[in-house]
Amino acid sequence: MSILYQYNVNNIMQLLEIKNLNSTLQNSIIAVFRLSFSDAEGSKEGDTIATFVEDLLSTTKQDESHVFIAQNDKEITGAIVFSKFKTENNTNAFILSPVAVVTKFQGQKIGQNLINFALEVLKNNGVEVAITYGDPNFYSKVGFKQITEDIIQAPLKLSFPIGWLAQSLTSNTLDVIPGKTACVPALNKQELW
């Protein structure tokens, strides 16, 4: 395991970007997703998301993913993964999916702090556009705006079109990204969309 970027929010919480996940840390991250989604949406959804995260972490090339965690005294309290989002015009874009904060730590802005930290790291690494697919009310708090597929085409059919969101990391406006798009294999499953 190597820590690429670290930020101390206070004396208690650290935000970290992790590369070269060892199996213990990978299993801890998967457990955060399983627990968070099981608590929110039931054990079946928790298992589905945990399987997705395991696939995402184990099959995505290292240069095509960014894994960020929040930890509180060595306990992981939240985790997010950005993976490469491919475009025909080679815009340097990454998609945020998924996000989880352990239930007992929710409501403390851990998710927002973690996403803002990650977006700053991505920006500093030349990423031009960040995309996500989820709750517009939550993601608007960290700069994402609703878009249509006229702006950026989704790689698969959207079951929740109002949850298609993006933001430019280089300017105040998001330019149209023409053409077809693709995501990493673990995310390229219609049931996730």
Q: Encoding tokens for residue 136?
A: 């517009």
Percent of the chain with pLDDT over 70: 99
pLDDT > 80? residue 2: no
List the one residue out of 28, 5, 2, 30 whose CA is nearest residue 15.
5
Distance CA 118, CA 113 (A): 9
Residue 162 and residue 136 in contact, taking contact as beta carbons nearer than 8 Å: yes
Percent of the chain with pLDDT over 90: 90
Mean pLDDT, the chain, integer: 95
The phi, psi pair for 166, rounded to 5°, reads -160, 170
Of 20-24, 81-85, 121-125, 164-168, the range with the lowest mean pLDDT is: 20-24
pTM: 0.94
The predicted structure's pLDDT at residue 6: 78
The predicted structure's pLDDT at residue 1: 61
Question: How much is the average pLDDT of 57-61?
Answer: 96
The predicted structure's pLDDT at residue 109: 93
The predicted structure's pLDDT at residue 9: 76
Q: Encoding tokens for residue 158?
A: 């959207």
